Amino acid sequence: MLGTRTAPLSVPQGRKAFQLRRLVEPIVRYTLYAVIVIVFLMPFIWMFFGSVRKESEIHGMMFPFGWHTIVPVQWTLENFLDIYGLTEAGRSGGLRFHRGLMNSGIIAVAVVALSMLFNTMAAYFFARLPFPGKKWLTAYVLATFLLPFEVTVVPLYLVISEMGLRNTYWAMIIPFYASPFIVFLLSQFLGSIPKDLDEAAVVDGANYWQILWKVIFPNALPAIATAALIEFQFIWNLFYWPLIATSSLDLQVIQVMIASQTTDRTVYWGRTFAGLVSAVLPVMLLFLFGQRFYFRGAVLSGMK
């Protein structure tokens, strides 16, 4: 950013330095690209390739370091078949990652659907509806930002047990049907939609509910998509809460499953890699397709 700006202002006697710079700059830049790719991508590449090779290869080709330390010689889907319980070896090891993926999927979809409904409604209230003393309600919502999630997990556990929801899907869905952060994020956005739109709808005899879904919702879709992606990723990646909220193996989500499988059997690296790939692929693909929403979400959460 600083380097390129000097170019148009270079004075004649600086010409040689300028030309040298134009030569060196791309070299430096592409070297940095390479370093970044190695540091941030290599672990993932190692993981992906590790999941589609034979166990013996992973162990046998680790040393000395070479091309085949990373890239398989013989490609196989065996590890995936094992962890999804599709082979005898996998079944006898009690592996059923399909169940974990299904649990995570059910919970994440339910949370995203519910939270989009209730968060959008709440954001609509804060951004556009008349109500006396709304600032107190705003303070009530914002004050929850002071409560750090990982520290309130033990207290939340006490509430969920009292409600008799331990070891149910509900334990992992209900606490998240509304989120103060998403309400805040959406209400910022809903506030920026022109007010004439609602007024025109009021003249046409529409009520609040109709205005929200027919007028506001279509105009707020990019923000709502951002919120949905943030929420999905948050729930899919959640570990601490599902770990303690359920002890039943049938309800284990994928994140808890991969952690418990490997602490028990660290020997099977191929299966572990396959489990990691299964756990990461859904969010990775969503990220690749919805990148700009993610970056916007990250920047907006800068206000959290």
Partner 1 sequence: MASVSIAKPSAQTGLLTLKRRQYLIAFLFVLPALINFAVFRYIPIFMAGHASLYDYSLLGGFGDFVGMKNYIRALEDDLFWTSMWVSFQYALMKVPLQVVLSLLLAMFVARELRGMSPIRTIIFFPVVTSLVVAAMLWSMMYNKDLGLFQSIAGIFGLRHNGFMSNPMLALPSIVLMMIWKEVGFSMIIYVAGLKGIPDMFYEAAMIDGASPLQRFWHITLPLLKPVTLFVIVTQTISAFQVFVPIFVMTQGGPFFATNAIVYYIYQNGFSYNDMGYASALSFFVLALLVVISYFQFRLFRGQAEY
Residues in 35-74 that interact with partner 1 by CB under 8 A = 36-37, 39-44, 46-47, 58-59, 62-65, 69
Residue 63 CA to residue 281 CA, distance in Å, equals: 28
Give the one residue of 125, 181, 189, 268 binding partner 1; rule: CB under 8 A. Answer: 125
Closest to partner 1 by CB, 81 vs 244, is 244
Closest separation in Å from C-beta 42 to partner 1: 8
Closest to partner 1 by CB, 40 vs 88, is 40
Say whether 75 sits in a helix, a strand or coil: strand
Footprint on residues 3-42 left by partner 1 (CB under 8 A): 3-6, 9, 29-30, 32-33, 36-37, 39-42
Which among 72-80, 82-90, 136-144, 218-226 is the span making contact with partner 1, rule CB under 8 A?
136-144
If we measure between CA atoms, which residue out of 297, 282, 287, 289 comes closest to residue 100?
282
Q: Please, are residues 52 and 76 in contact by the beta-carbon 8 Å criterion?
A: yes
Other Cβ atoms closer than 10 A to 74: 9
Residues contacting 173, CB < 8 A, separation 6+: 107, 110, 111, 114
If we measure between CA atoms, which residue out of 141, 143, 148 comes closest to residue 127?
141
Category of 252 on φ-ψ map: left (φ > 0), alpha (ψ -120 to 50) or beta: beta
How many residues form the binding site for partner 1 (CB under 8 A)?
A: 101
Q: Please, are residues 185 and 118 in contact by the beta-carbon 8 Å criterion?
A: no
Give the one residue of 22, 91, 149, 214 binding partner 1; rule: CB under 8 A. Answer: 149
Footprint on residues 181-240 left by partner 1 (CB under 8 A): 183, 198-199, 202-203, 207-208, 212, 233, 236-237, 239-240
Tell me: does residue 289 bind partner 1 (CB under 8 A): no
Closest separation in Å from C-beta 296 to partner 1: 9
Closest to partner 1 by CB, 112 vs 122, is 122
Footprint on residues 71-100 left by partner 1 (CB under 8 A): none
Give the one residue of 23, 27, 139, 162 binding partner 1; rule: CB under 8 A. Answer: 162
If we measure between CA atoms, which residue out of 236, 294, 271 comes closest to residue 85?
271
Tell me: does residue 280 bind partner 1 (CB under 8 A): yes
Q: Please, are residues 297 and 226 in contact by the beta-carbon 8 Å criterion?
A: yes
Closest to partner 1 by CB, 3 vs 91, is 3
Using the Cα atoms of residue 221, residue 223, residue 227 and residue 229 in order, give the sign of their dihedral.
Answer: positive
Tell me: does residue 175 bind partner 1 (CB under 8 A): yes
Tell me: does residue 113 bind partner 1 (CB under 8 A): no
- Chain-centre distance for alpha carbon 15: 48
